[in-house]
Structure 1
Amino acid sequence: MIQIQYPQSDFSIKEQGDKAFIFDTIRKIWVTLTPEEWVRQNFLNYLVKEKKYPASLIAIEQEIWLTDKKKRFDIAIYKNNVPWMLIECKEMKVSLSTSIIDQILSYQQILKTDYLVITNGNQSFCWDTMNGKALDDLPEYHS
C-alpha cells in the first residue's frame, strides 16, 4: 500500500441549490462534488503538487470502448503521447476489492499503461505492469 500525504488544498467550492460543485483545475470546469469526486480532486492535487506530474498531460473521465460498451476511466497520465498510468478512484467508504481491480484491468486491455493505481483516498495501491509487481510509492515522472 502507498502512504500518501495529501497536500493542503485550495479548492474552489460553490453551492447551487442543494448541490455542491468543485472547480476542476485540470479540466477547467465546475463538476458536481460527489464523494468520489472529492477523492479524485485530492488525488489530482497530490499528483500535481507533490509528485510533480504535468497537469497538461492528465486526462480525466475520458471515454473508451470495451467491446460494445462505452466506459469512462477516472484518470490517465500520458507520457510520450501514450497513456503511461491509469488511476481508478472510488469514494472513501468503498473497499478496494477484487471488483475494482477487475474494473481497472478491463480498461488496461485497451490502454496498456505501464502503471495501474486504485485509490479510495484512504488506501492506494500501485502496480508496475511491465515488471508485474506492486510498488510502495508512485513512480517519478521524468519526461
Structure 2
Amino acid sequence: MSYPALNLPPAQLKLSKENEQFFVWCIVRRKKLLLTPEEWVRQHVIHYLIHYKNTPIERVNSEHLLKINGQNRRCDVVVTDSFGNAKLIIECKAPEINLDEKVFLQTSNYIQKSKASFFWMTNGMNHVIVECSKPDVYLEELPEL
C-alpha cells in the first residue's frame, strides 16, 4: 500500500490489512472502511478538522445522506452547527483527480440543497474553499479554511 503524502497535516490513521486489502478506521463512523485513494483523502480531512481545527467530532459527518430530486446522494464530509444544520460541505477526490469545473458542478447540488455556508473541494494535494453566500449568484474563493 502506497498513498502519497498530502497537502494536509499528517493524520494518525489506524490501518489494517485483511486478505490482501487495506482498511482504515474511521473515527467518525466508528468502523473499518476499505482504504481507497479517496478514503485516504477523506480520513486526512476528518483528522484535520478534529485535531487541527478543533471541530467537535459530533459535528463531523462522513457519507452524509442528502435527498436531491428524489435520489439519495452522499456528501463525503459535512460539518454541522450546534443545531444540526450543514455549515461546511466537503467533497473529497482521489489525489490524481483534477479539481475542475466538472467536479464542482457534480457537487453543486449539495450546496444548494443543504444551504451550507462553505464548500471545500480537495484531492488532498489541492484545495478549493469557497464561501457560498449566494450559491446561485456568487462564490468567493477563500485562501484557507
TM-score of the aligned structures, taking structure 2 as reference length:
0.87
What is the count of residue pairs matched by the alignment?
135
Q: Kindly indicate whether residue 106 of structure 2 is the aligned counterpart of residue 103 of structure 1.
A: yes
Q: SS state of the match for residue 7, structure 1? A: coil
Question: Structure 1: which 4+ aligned runs deviate by more than 6 Å?
Answer: none
Residue identity matched to 1:26: V
Q: Give identity over the alignment, percent.
A: 24
Write the distance in 1 (CA, Å) between the matches of 2:112 and 2:31.
29
Higher RCO (C-alpha under 8 Å, 6+ residues apart) = 1
Write the distance in 1 (CA, Å) between the matches of 2:53 and 2:64.
22
Per-residue CA deviations over 1:19-58 (Å, capped at 9, x if unaligned) read 1100001111100000000000111111111111111101
TM-score of the aligned structures, taking structure 1 as reference length:
0.88
How much is the aligned-residue C-alpha RMSD, in angstroms? 1.5
Residue identity matched to 2:129: C
Residue identity matched to 1:67: N
1:115 corresponding residue in structure 2: 118
1:49 corresponding residue in structure 2: 51
Match of 1:9 among 3, 8, 11: 11
2:3 corresponding residue in structure 1: none
2:90 corresponding residue in structure 1: 87
Q: Kindly indicate whether residue 132 of structure 2 is the aligned counterpart of residue 129 of structure 1.
A: yes
Match of 2:20 among 12, 18, 21: 18
Structure 1 portions without partners, runs of 5+:
139-143
